[in-house]
Amino acid sequence: MTIPNDPIILLSYINTQLRDKYPSLYEFCKATDCDEIEIRNKLYAIGYEYSEEYNKFT
């Protein structure tokens, strides 16, 4: 699966997917065959970290 490359669009896309379909970032990555570390690093670079408590990047 191809996910957005632009970090801001990626943030919106991932948070929407987590809200609507997946109980965790791990489950999203498993289902879509995406690299969790790559996603975390890309969003960390623009100031966002994954919150397991809220299941979204904040």
Phi, psi values for residue 48, rounded to 5°: -120, 140
pLDDT at residue number 44:
98
For 1-58, write each residue's pLDDT tens digit.
789 999 999 999 999 999 999 999 999 999 999 999 999 999 999 999 999 999 999 9
22 is a domain residue: yes
27 is a domain residue: yes
For 10-26, write each residue's pLDDT tens digit.
999 999 999 999 999 99
Query: Three-state DSSP class for 30?
Result: helix
Looking at the DSSP bridge assignments, the partners of residue 56 are 51
Q: How many domains does the chain have?
A: 1
User: Residue 53's domain spans which residues?
Assistant: 7-57
32 is a domain residue: yes
1 is a domain residue: no
